[in-house]
Amino acid sequence: MNNSSVINAAIALSQKLPIPLKRLADLAYNYWWSWSTDRVSLFQTIDPHHWESCGHNPVAILESATYERLTQLAEDPFYLKQISELTREFDKYMTQQDTWVSRVAPQVSSEHPIAYFCAEFGIHESLPIYSGGLGILAGDHLKSASDLGVPMVGIGLLYRQGYFRQKLNHNGWQEDYYVDNLFHQMPIELIKNQQGEPLTIELEVRQRMVKVQIWRAQVGRVSLYLLDTDRHDNDPIDRWLTGHLYGGNQETRIAQEVVLGIGGVRTLTALGIKPSVYHLNEGHAAFSTLEVAREEIERTGKSFYDIEASVKSRCVFTTHTPVPAGHDVFSPDMMDSFFAHYWPKLRLSREQFLALGARRLGDPWEPFGMTVLALRMCRASNGVSELHGQVSRKMWMVLYPERSEDKVPIGYITNGVHAPTWTAPLLADLYNQYLGADWKTRAIDPKMWEKVDEIPDEELWWRHQILKERLIAYARYKIKKAREHRGEDYHLVQSTDSLLNPKVLTIGFARRFSPYKRGYLLMRDAERALRIFGNAERPVQIIFAGKAHPADEEGKRIIQRLMEWCKHSAIQHRVAFIEDYDIYVGQKLVQGVDVWLNNPRRPLEASGTSGQKVCFNGGINCSVLDGWWCEGYKADAHGKGINGWAIGEDAHTSDQDLQDSIDSESLYRLLEEEIVPLFYEQDANGIPHRWIQMMKASIKTNAPLFNTDRMIADYVSQVYVPEIATSVEPILAKVLV
Ligand SMILES: *Cc1c(COP(=O)(O)O)cnc(C)c1O
């Protein structure tokens, strides 16, 4: 793309490799490999054991391999053929000129890319700087932007210890711990200036100047710049500014958001990047709008109000939170301590400055809201599903007293997932055969997905079955290790080898254990749940994963209750909990389950994306009609699900206990009367044809809509460059202006 895509660290690494393996260094430093055809085997083969222990980090694998092993591979013609095929694919990808964007929006040039800001990015498990849905969405956003040729750069923070890691003790209580990221061994590069010193920017935080250095992770054609304050010349406290993701108190939080927003814009300037659009993915990055304004004021000498419209014309915002309490707000005192030096540079008084983030004007105690600031300073704002758009318009009506609710300027673009990342290689291979070798680049084409009907049931089933076996083997491996680690009884440890059964209907439930996600709903009537799971002829099994935020005691109690439930003698071999949910665990789960369960309290799931990942793998959703599933779920004339199941009635009540009771009753009934009978209706060869019909419907109806290529196409045509009439039909989005 531009010369900045040369990665010096890759050149240095390649010099340590035997000649025929040199190009592995280029692959290792570009996360493109993680969604290429090959995915893992090229790096894994070097040292399968270390591949696991280093967290699937290709740079660490190459750095630590012995020369003896490397030369052994360098004389293996099969291995060399694999490298040459993959590098050919890589070079073609990186130099491709005829991209989707070059056809529909050639005016978006790499000189003026979209700058995409987010507090977390989930690209791959070897770059653990994400906590969950928001980060994974951001990672998938960059990957699809790269695939479609959208000029984009990402801006985020490089957390020394990332998000906390999860371990459960023998009481089933979550214990949190942190692991240091060793940046120099990761597939990222520290940006240097012309003198060969780390390039830094400076900003004032808590009355001290802080120096920030910048790392780059390469995500296909997109560069992701990550800010890091862990430098010797910073105050020890400031070195921890980028220590933890979502750790610490309000003060850490605002400090991090200053680094992300203000530091992010300064980073772009230092790199000579002049974005055409600043996209704030969630309110955390909203201070960036102020810095864009400050730069313009400094350059032009104009007042804030003179340049406000020009700043606004370049900023866009995506909100993700459907509850008021989920939006960051800071007290006026806190704002004073962080911004007293700053508002004069905007030529604003304290009152004028604080008004930018105030929901209501005139109240001196009114906190400063990041979402409010973003809504005020951005020309376009959107929620992440149709329902979430509605909820957001209602929630933020207060800012637009002159407008009726439906005219509140917040639209929606429904989230999606990056198909090549989340589709199991074994199914991708099947799609290659039946949908065409170019299926990954045509993910938005519903006609192409219709061809799923041509896949013979047996073919789809054996592949799904293998993926389920893989998931179960992985679950046993992880759980056995966890039990050994806890010092559990010998027999319990040994019994892990027969935990779960690939022939049994398998449900997956993996999500943050936040009370609103209702991880306990399935156990609400313990007797009935035991009858369903422990049924002798038609049993059901479930695999759980997910963390509770360290400060969320109630969430931790839900996990503890689940662990207690796992021990019940009637079902102990049918229930499993995989610790430390991350992208890798997520992939194994969404690729191997029969049914994906999602039972949040409506409408608190803004979109959700894990259920979308399941669809690409032939799994079937059983979910409350919330978030994306409101748009995905299809029923026949009798109200029976065609492509999955809907939990709950149309009636909604604010009485939480009553709602839980209605929804759990509905869930039990679905399991007993529909899901279990359908799954066990199998022919003499054990093939459940009617079930497979539903798997195919799940793929056909959802895959063309809930992928990030469709989502990026919508962002380009409705948000980034609304003046173009793209050749891609807007499929779901509607952004009100
Ligand atoms: C997809 C994913 C999420 C987000 O899924 P939800 O449906 O929003 O719960 C969170 N964590 C991981 C590891 C994921 O892969």
Q: 101: which 2 tokens?
A: 């964007």
Model confidence at 405: pLDDT above 90: yes
> Buried b vs exposed e over 677-699: b needs ≥16 C-beta within 10 Å?
ebbbeeeeeebbeebbebbbbbb
Q: What is the pLDDT of residues 546-580, one digit of tens each?
A: 999 999 999 999 999 999 988 889 899 999 999 99
d(CA 280, CA 295): 18
Model pLDDT, residue 41: 84
Q: How far is the CA of 589 from the centre of ligand 1 (A)?
A: 11
Q: How far is the CA of 137 from the centre of ligand 1 (A)?
A: 9
Q: How far is the CA of 136 from the centre of ligand 1 (A)?
A: 7
- By most ligand atoms within 8 Å of CB, the mutation choice from 120, 143, 578, 609 for ligand 1 is 609
d(CA 520, CA 586): 20
Mean pLDDT of 442-470: 97
Describe the chain by its helix, strand, coil percentages, rounded to 5.
50, 15, 40
* Residue 638, CB-side half-sphere exposure with 13 Å CA sphere: 2
Q: Which ligand 1 atom is at minimum distance from the Cα of 587?
A: 15
Model pLDDT, residue 722: 86
d(CA 277, CA 143): 18
- By most ligand atoms within 8 Å of CB, the mutation choice from 511, 589, 629 for ligand 1 is 511
Model confidence at 737: pLDDT above 70: no
Model confidence at 199: pLDDT above 80: yes
Q: What is the pLDDT of residues 88-138, one digit of tens each?
A: 999 999 999 999 999 888 888 899 999 999 999 999 999 999 999 999 999
User: What's the length of the chain?
Assistant: 737
Tracing tokens 């799971």 back to the chain, one arrives at: 533
Coil, helix or strand at residue 317: strand
Model pLDDT, residue 248: 86
Q: How far is the CA of 133 from the centre of ligand 1 (A)?
A: 4
Model pLDDT, residue 670: 98
The secondary structure element, H or E, covering residue 333 is helix 332-339
Q: Determine which residue's CA is closest to atom 5 belonging to ligand 1.
A: 610
Strand partners, 168: 174
Model confidence at 733: pLDDT above 60: no
Q: How far is the CA of 502 from the centre of ligand 1 (A)?
A: 24
d(CA 328, CA 366): 13
pTM greater than the 0.95 cutoff = yes
Q: Determine which residue's CA is closest to atom 1 belonging to ligand 1.
A: 610
Model confidence at 721: pLDDT above 90: yes
Q: Determine which residue's CA is closest to atom 4 belonging to ligand 1.
A: 133
Please list, in sequence order, all residues whose beta carbon lies within 8 angstroms of the beta carbon of residue 304, skipping any fewer than 6 positions away: 293, 297, 346, 347, 348, 352
The secondary structure element, H or E, covering residue 459 is helix 457-486
Q: Which ligand 1 atom is at minimum distance from the Cα of 582?
A: 13
Model confidence at 286: pLDDT above 70: yes
Q: How far is the CA of 259 from the centre of ligand 1 (A)?
A: 26
Higher pLDDT, 430 or 363: 430
Q: Determine which residue's CA is closest to atom 3 belonging to ligand 1.
A: 133
Q: Determine which residue's CA is closest to atom 8 belonging to ligand 1.
A: 608
Mean pLDDT of 282-293: 98
The backbone region for 393, taken as left when phi is positive above 0, alpha when psi lies in -120 to 50, beta otherwise, is alpha
Kindly indicate the confidence band of residue 5, based on its pLDDT and cuts at 50, 70 and 90: low
Q: Which ligand 1 atom is at minimum distance from the Cα of 417?
A: 1
d(CA 17, CA 155): 32
Tracing tokens 């997905």 back to the chain, one arrives at: 449
User: What residue spans of 106-245 are helical by DSSP H?
Assistant: 133-148, 236-239
Q: How far is the CA of 583 from the centre of ligand 1 (A)?
A: 8
d(CA 289, CA 481): 47
- By most ligand atoms within 8 Å of CB, the mutation choice from 131, 136, 514, 596 for ligand 1 is 136
Q: How far is the CA of 511 from the centre of ligand 1 (A)?
A: 6
d(CA 35, CA 576): 29
Model pLDDT, residue 166: 97
Please list, in sequence order, all residues whose beta carbon lies within 8 angstroms of the beta carbon of residue 35, skipping any fewer than 6 positions away: 143, 418, 420, 421
Tracing tokens 């040459």 back to the chain, one arrives at: 84
Q: 289: which 2 tokens?
A: 């709008």
Among the listed residues 440, 459, 475, 466, the one whose alpha carbon sits nearest the alpha carbon of residue 589: 475
Q: Which ligand 1 atom is at minimum distance from the Cα of 512?
A: 9
Kindly indicate the confidence band of residue 145, based on its pLDDT and cuts at 50, 70 and 90: very high
- 420 burial (CB, 10 Å; 0-12 / 13-18 / 19+) is buried
Model pLDDT, residue 588: 98
Mean pLDDT of 224-244: 97
Q: How far is the CA of 483 from the centre of ligand 1 (A)?
A: 25
Q: Which ligand 1 atom is at minimum distance from the Cα of 586?
A: 15
Q: How far is the CA of 642 from the centre of ligand 1 (A)?
A: 24
Between the CA atoms of 508, 511, 516 and 522, what dihedral angle is there, to the nearest 10 degrees? 20
Model pLDDT, residue 316: 98
Model confidence at 730: pLDDT above 50: no
* Residue 381, CB-side half-sphere exposure with 13 Å CA sphere: 25
Residues with CB under 6 A from ligand 1: 132-133, 136, 511, 581-583, 586, 608-611, 613
Q: How far is the CA of 326 from the centre of ligand 1 (A)?
A: 18
Q: How far is the CA of 385 from the centre of ligand 1 (A)?
A: 16
Average pLDDT, the chain: 94
Q: 472: which 2 tokens?
A: 């179960």
Model pLDDT, residue 725: 54
Q: Which ligand 1 atom is at minimum distance from the Cα of 613?
A: 1
Q: What is the pLDDT of residues 642-679, one digit of tens each?
A: 999 999 977 788 899 999 999 999 999 999 999 999 99
Q: How far is the CA of 135 from the centre of ligand 1 (A)?
A: 9
Taking every pair of C-alpha atoms in the chain, what is the biggest distance, in angstroms?
A: 80
Among the listed residues 359, 374, 355, the one whose alpha carbon sits nearest the alpha carbon of residue 282: 374
Q: How far is the CA of 613 from the centre of ligand 1 (A)?
A: 9
Q: How many Å separate Cα 146 from the centre of its chain? A: 16
The backbone region for 144, taken as left when phi is positive above 0, alpha when psi lies in -120 to 50, beta otherwise, is alpha
Model pLDDT, residue 362: 78
Mean pLDDT of 516-542: 94
d(CA 262, CA 467): 45
Are the beta carbons of 642 and 701 closer than 8 angstroms?
yes
Q: 643: which 2 tokens?
A: 């492509």
Mean pLDDT of 524-531: 94
Q: How far is the CA of 282 from the centre of ligand 1 (A)?
A: 16
d(CA 479, CA 168): 11
The secondary structure element, H or E, covering residue 660 is helix 656-669
- By most ligand atoms within 8 Å of CB, the mutation choice from 164, 610, 613, 623 for ligand 1 is 610
Q: Which ligand 1 atom is at minimum distance from the Cα of 598?
A: 7
d(CA 140, CA 417): 6
Tracing tokens 């203000």 back to the chain, one arrives at: 262
Q: How far is the CA of 722 from the centre of ligand 1 (A)?
A: 30
Helix pair angle (370-377, 287-300), 10° resolution: 50
Q: Which ligand 1 atom is at minimum distance from the Cα of 581?
A: 13
Among the listed residues 178, 143, 284, 271, the one whose alpha carbon sits nearest the alpha carbon of residue 216: 271
Mean pLDDT of 239-244: 97
Q: Which ligand 1 atom is at minimum distance from the Cα of 612?
A: 7
Kindly indicate the confidence band of residue 1, based on its pLDDT and cuts at 50, 70 and 90: very low
d(CA 567, CA 491): 13
Peptide bond into 275 cis (omega under 30): no
Q: Fill in the amino acid letter for 202.
A: E
Kindly indicate the confidence band of residue 247, based on its pLDDT and cuts at 50, 70 and 90: confident
Q: How many Å separate Cα 644 from the centre of its chain? A: 23
In degrees, rounded to 5, the angle at the alpha carbon of residue 438 between the alpha carbons of residues 436 and 444 is 100
Q: How far is the CA of 627 from the centre of ligand 1 (A)?
A: 13
Q: What is the pLDDT of residues 611-642, one digit of tens each?
A: 999 999 999 999 999 999 999 999 999 999 99
**What is the gyration radius of the CA atoms in the chain, in angstroms?**
26
Q: What is the pLDDT of residues 573-613, one digit of tens each?
A: 999 999 999 999 999 999 999 999 999 999 999 999 999 99
Q: Determine which residue's CA is closest to atom 11 belonging to ligand 1.
A: 132
> What is the dihedral sign for C-alpha 352, 357, 361, 363?
negative
Please list, in sequence order, all residues whose beta carbon lies within 8 angstroms of the beta carbon of residue 270, skipping any fewer than 6 positions away: 199, 201, 214
Q: Which ligand 1 atom is at minimum distance from the Cα of 605?
A: 8
Q: Determine which residue's CA is closest to atom 9 belonging to ligand 1.
A: 511
d(CA 578, CA 41): 24
Q: Which ligand 1 atom is at minimum distance from the Cα of 517?
A: 9
Please list, in sequence order, all residues whose beta carbon lies within 8 angstroms of the beta carbon of residue 175, skipping any fewer than 6 positions away: 166, 167, 168, 169
Q: Which ligand 1 atom is at minimum distance from the Cα of 133?
A: 4
Q: How far is the CA of 551 from the centre of ligand 1 (A)?
A: 20
Strand partners, 622: 597, 645
Are the beta carbons of 225 and 263 closer than 8 angstroms?
no
Q: Determine which residue's CA is closest to atom 12 belonging to ligand 1.
A: 132
Q: Which ligand 1 atom is at minimum distance from the Cα of 510?
A: 9
